[in-house]
Amino acid sequence: MKVFSRNWYKGLNLTAFSLVMAFLYIPILILIIFSFNDSRIIAGWQGFTFKYYILLFQNTAIKEAFRNTMMIAMLSTLISTTLGILTALALENKRFSGRKGLLALIYTPLVIPDILMGVSLALLFNFTRVNTGMITVLIAHVTFCISYTVIVVQSRLEGFDHSLVEAAQDLGARPSYIFWKIKFPLMMPGIIAAALLAFTLSIDDFIITFFTSGRGFDTLPIYVEGTIRRGTITTINSLSTLMIAFTLFLVVITKRIRKILVSAL
């Protein structure tokens, strides 16, 4: 009876897991399949073709939106990760007088709705008479990405083995040597995780970018939304498939980098 109940419980878990995976990944699989469909609308399978991938690479608007997205993502990742490292190191000092107030400011972008943050930034730029475009989008992305980078790096610092630093101090090592040779390498997994999270959030953001981009500066989410609203989704399926492949590539590269760092440490 116990064996039967245990097998029934395992079968129930496997069924639930299979249903969740199917719910998550079947729509993605359908999108990938129909990116090769020789039809302008998703009404049925009309034949296999690569023409929409060819049209995708010939579309100058998509290329420009992709360049804008990558540029904003890389710059916001670099700036927010750097500021996140410095902020997390400052918060490591428990005697810092403004620690609680700074933590409140850091957690605020995480709890307020994206639409509220986008509207508030748009009002700020309008009040200060700043022309919306690349700079305003970059400021907006850094604003919400820095909260995530601080939290990720700070969590890494909380599990930090301070006995290594104390041992280096007892041996007479300089503070700069301790930081770059001991502390920074141990922080590196958290820094990489924070950078990847900021990069992903920046690429994926639509609402805040919509309110701060203005006319003439489109990112991929803005372009995709406009294209779908006009009813043209064939090249968007191809673009989405390439983005999925690019994401999987980043995951593989990240795992390899992590293995190299772990083996080096």
- 62-120 tens-digit pLDDT: 888 889 999 999 999 999 999 999 988 888 777 777 777 778 888 888 888 888 898 99
pLDDT of residue 77: 94
Task: Judge contact between 69 and 113, C-beta under 8 A.
Answer: no
pLDDT at 223 over 90: no
Question: Residue 139 has what pLDDT?
Answer: 92
> What pLDDT does 231 receive?
63
141, 230 Cβ separation under 8 angstroms: no
Most confident of 4-13, 26-35, 140-149: 140-149
Share of the chain above pLDDT 70, in %: 91
What are the Cα distances from residue 220, in Å, to 9, 174, 249? 45, 47, 19
pLDDT score for 11? 74
Model pLDDT, residue 74:
93
- Domains in the chain (CATH in brackets) are 58-264 (1.10.3720.10)
Residue 209 has pLDDT above 60, yes or no: yes
**pLDDT computed for residue 238 by the predictor:** 84
226 versus 144: the higher-pLDDT residue is 144
pLDDT at 1 over 60: no
Task: Quote the pLDDT of residue 109.
Answer: 83
pLDDT of residue 4: 52
The distance in angstroms from the start CA to the end CA of the chain is 50
Half-sphere exposure of 201 (CA within 13 A, CB side): 25
What pLDDT shows up at residue 113?
86
CA separation for the pair 231, 220 (Å, rounded): 16
**Which of 57-61, 74-78, 152-156, 251-255 shows the lowest mean pLDDT across its residues?**
251-255
Which pLDDT belongs to residue 108? 84
| Helices (H), ranges, the chain | 2-34, 51-58, 60-91, 99-111, 114-127, 134-158, 162-170, 175-178, 184-204, 207-213, 220-230, 234-264
| pLDDT > 80? residue 241 | yes
CB-count burial class (<10 Å; 0-12, 13-18, 19+) for 36 = middle
The answer to whether the Cα torsion of 26, 31, 33, 37 is positive or negative is positive
Count of other CB atoms within 10 angstroms of residue 73: 23
- pLDDT of the residue at 232: 63
pLDDT at 251: 78
